[in-house]
Amino acid sequence: MCGIVGYVGKAVAPDNKVSPSHRPQEVVLEGLRRLEYRGYDSAGIALAAPGMTELASAKKAGKLTNLKNEILQNPLPEATAAIGHTRWATHGGPTDRNAHPHLADNGRLAVIHNGIIENFAELKAELVEAGVTFLSDTDTEVAAHIIARCYKGTEDLTEAMRLAVGRFRGTFTLLAVAAEDPTTVVGARHDSPLVVGLGDGENFLGSDVAAFVAYTKDAMELEQDQIVTITPTSVNVINFDGTPGKGKTYAVDWDAEAGDKGGFASYMDKEIHEQPQAIADTLRGRVDANGALQLDEVSIDESVFRAIDQIIVIACGTAAYAGQVARYAIEHWCRIPVEIELAHEFRYRDPIVNEKTLVVAISQSGETMDTLMAVRHAREQGAKVLSIVNAQGSTIPRESDAVLYTHAGPEIAVASTKAFTAQITAAYLLGMYLAQVRGNKFPDEIDSLLSALKAIPAKVQTVIERGEYVKATARSMKSADSVLFLGRHVGYPVAMEGALKLKELAYIHAEGFAAGELKHGPIALIDEGLPVFIIVPSPRSRTGLHSKVVSNIQEVRARGARTLVIAEDGDDAVRQFADEIFWIPNCPTLMQPLLAAIPLQIFAMELATTKGLDVDQPRNLAKSVTVE
């Protein structure tokens, strides 16, 4: 939620011209474009340059194009520093007046903000009492006036920020720029993401590295409760208590082209096609010189892994469904009980967690606020935390005891596709690693499982190549207003994920059920022509569930449902009961979700596209939920 960009660069030349690719306005607008995937409903920018008595700014409700059109009609001056923002409304509606930046001190200071300042009402009452007039309904304007008052007293923007954040409660990333100091941008982070981009004669700030990856791949991650001050030639970090701070530098492992559509009609379509590579990259380099599996960063002794007696997976949305798939594999391979918890419920039910608990946190962005708060709660109770995350430099892996990166590259579309399959892949690796450390599997068994997993990318590619039939089926269902999904065993979380994709993208009723629950209530929903997806287990599976799910197909079809079946190649038993069959290659039972999820992604994307909807930015949704 909310995209934040800050930039300071080379001074304006005497002829009032700078390099077109490094004009602060263009750098920030390009950064905001690359952060659109986070979800937003307004956008704005503020600029500073030598000689300005007040900052130049523009902001508009709606998409970024509205802001660009506003600037075309009312051009902004050349500058040396800029901050920009895409807002996801919390306090106050999505209007021009509530868009960021918010100005204070008669336009001499501007602030942008991601998060929620929970004590804004009492601070606002204090400011109103002091005679401050407010022009918006936001908590951010309160922050702007507090910072401005501190700045007047110190004439030091960094110190002003430090004094101000001591008064704020809640979650926030704040960026500020002042007319009196046009080569400086100051940022602060508390429970909200902020990273630094390191350039040559220029430096950057962003909600994530997408904001500046077009200009530099050198980045610095900030710790909790730190303030960063950037100028064209320096980056200085302090802690909220004023002591010197230090960030950790790293190189971004993808380039700007990876964040573009690459000739596809949408980012989602591109990311569906990237799944074979994302899975392969997640698997790459996982075996050490002795043939043993290894994770990315681990500060947990193997004796601790051997002693754990329960695993709790915490996640939200799609990541939670990936965790549910993981449960089947980890319990089967490691014989450890696994619970799946929605992160936003976890710490409020007083969970039983101790030093023998391994908590596995799954988050694509590594900044999901509910999951981060659950991680902190788990560690306070003595549990070890291992995170499965895609974004380097994010908060959740920094606050975990171990991390397993998915290496899926940037995922721009709001609805997760390659994040889901990469997370499942990483969870399988974790299950194998634990089985190795705990001695549940012999080395040759681990090697056999890993070989089967390494064969999956080619099979995913086969499913994608068969996608045109899925698309044609979706186009024929443009008028559908309800769809059900059924699955058993590992097919059950896939069914729920398929339903979620359809809700997110096509805005129609969709529900995923465990197929065994059908006769316990959901069968009452079956009506003539109702589309029902059924994920069929392999007939080779030793679970014995294949015949039971085939019976479920017959039950819903007998009541008039349109049956859309996902089945393994050669599964002749389903032919006579299916109206449509989407075939997937044979694979081990526990790995079937990596293949079965693909047709459901393609179907949801195509149905939404047929309805004329934006599959990359569905309404009301944000890619990264960074507030509770």
Q: Which residues are catalytic?
A: 2, 623
Torsion of CA 567, 426, 542, 526, to 10 degrees: -40
Identify the sign of the CA torsion 461, 463, 466, 467.
negative
What are the Cα distances from residue 241, in Å, to 163, 164, 165? 9, 12, 10
Which runs of E-coded beta strand occur in 232-326? 234-239, 248-251, 297-298, 310-315
**Cβ proximity of 116 and 90 under 8 Å:** yes
Residue that has been written with the tokens 């409700």 in this structure = 61
In one-letter notation, the amino acid at residue 392 is: Q
Task: Check whether the bond before 101 is cis (ω within 30° of 0).
Answer: yes
CB atoms within 10 A of CB 44: 24
Output the CA angle 100-104-106, nearest 5 degrees.
Answer: 125
Cα 314–320–325 angle (5° rounding)?
Answer: 110
Contacts of 43 (CB under 8 A, 6+ apart): 32, 59, 60, 62, 63, 64, 66, 67, 84, 85, 86, 87, 99
Task: Give the span between the Cα atoms of 431 and 386, in whole angstroms.
Answer: 12
Q: Residue 179: left if φ>0, alpha if ψ -120 to 50, beta else—which one?
A: alpha
Q: Which residues of 81-92 are buried (b: 16+ CB within 10 A; e: fewer)?
A: bbbbbbbbbbbb
Among 184, 162, 167, CA closest to 234: 184
Order of strands, edge to edge, in the sheet holding 338-342? 297-298, 402-405, 384-389, 357-363, 310-315, 338-342
- CB count in 10 Å sphere of residue 290: 7
Residue entry with tokens 């934006």:
614
Question: 78 phi and psi, to 5 degrees?
Answer: -60, 155
Amino acid, single-letter form, for residue 556: V
Per the DSSP assignment, residues forming a β-bridge with 566 are: 535, 582
* Nearest-angstrom CA–CA distance, 130 and 321: 51
CA 529 to chain centre: 36
Q: Using CA atoms, how far apart are residues 275 and 411, in angstroms rounded to an integer? A: 11
DSSP classification of residue 287: B
Give me the phi and psi of 485, to 5 degrees please. -130, 130
Contact 377, 350 (CB under 8 A): no
Q: Phi, psi at residue 427, to the nearest 5°?
A: -65, -35
- Our measurement of the distance from residue 243's CA atom to the centroid of its chain's CA atoms, rounded to an integer in Å, reads 32
Q: Is 450 helix (H, G, I), strand (E, B) or coil?
A: helix
> Which tokens hold the place of 132?
């401050």
Report the distance separating Cα 161 and Cα 150, nearest Å.
Answer: 8
Residues in the chain: 628
